Amino acid sequence: MWLQERHPAIVVSYLWLESEGDQFIERSLADAGGKGLFAKAIERALLDGKADLAVHSLKDLPTKLTKGLVLAAIPPREDPRDCLVSRSGASRIEDLPQGAALGTASPRRAAQALRLRPDLRIELIRGNVQTRLRKTLEPVQAGGKHYDATLMAMAGLSRAGLTPHMRFPLEPDVMLPAAGQGALALQCRGDDHVTMQRVLPLNHPITAQAVELERQIIDGLRGDCHSPIAAFAEPVQIDGATGYRLRARVLSSDGKECIEAEDQAAGKAMRKLAAGILKMLESKGAPQLLARR
């Protein structure tokens, strides 16, 4: 849609693919092969020349980019927050029933929820947005798992047209988002300069800088799909200039231990912002905490 608005002469056709991440919905991402499963089939189509452009949810892309491919543009970010969806209509994690079953496949979400409510039972839930909503809200089928609640990305619900389920967003102080959450990534082959030039105007520099800072944190901690790591950068005004407030949180899988760091910077100091956060996390023992998972 965006490309056709800017380049009316080109014809955009869609190549529908089922990712490996969607095929193994009964296994955790860590067991199935990691977040990169959502991108592999799409990236293969790009490299094979079957597609010229891919649109990813940025948080599903590993920080190490596939050789031969580039991120050509990052459009404006949607709401980066998570939200709570529950059978009881609870608006906060604290309001869920005692011992409630929380469905999630995200170590980051699970650890932060357990940090607030150690009594919760974390149950694996996989599938697309509609599937997870159905499993959480509809009557339990024979032999199926019961879920009292789940956590979902506000942006994912919005893109799926499921705005009625976006009633109870969780602020970053409660549930710090995943790196890149709410952002899309437009990817193409590194040698396809025509496509790169066409999509470059779709890039939103403020979003692109924010998610780059977040991904530097994940990369610096050698994070993967097993890692309960959250990172969030938001634009702020510092002495009249646009800068960023960067927050990071590393947790034990049970939420009992939490290491946090934050700072803000603008201008030339921006280059050292992520490195400074990483130093803070390292000095507090974040690498050792992650190694114990």
> Annotated catalytic sites, by residue?
60
Give the distance between the most distant pair of CA atoms in the chain: 60
3-state secondary structure of 62: coil
Tell me how far CA of residue 100 lies from CA of 92, 94, 122, 124, in angstroms: 13, 11, 9, 13
**Are 152 and 158 contacting, i.e. CB atoms less than 8 angstroms apart?**
no
Residue length, the chain? 293
Q: What is the DSSP-derived secondary structure letter of residue 224?
A: -
Look up tokens 């050792």; give the residue. Answer: 288
| Upper half-sphere CA count for residue 30 (Cβ side, 13 Å) | 13
Torsion of CA 196, 202, 205, 207, to 10 degrees: -120
Name the CA radius of gyration of the chain, rounded: 19
Look up tokens 């990813």; give the residue. Answer: 56
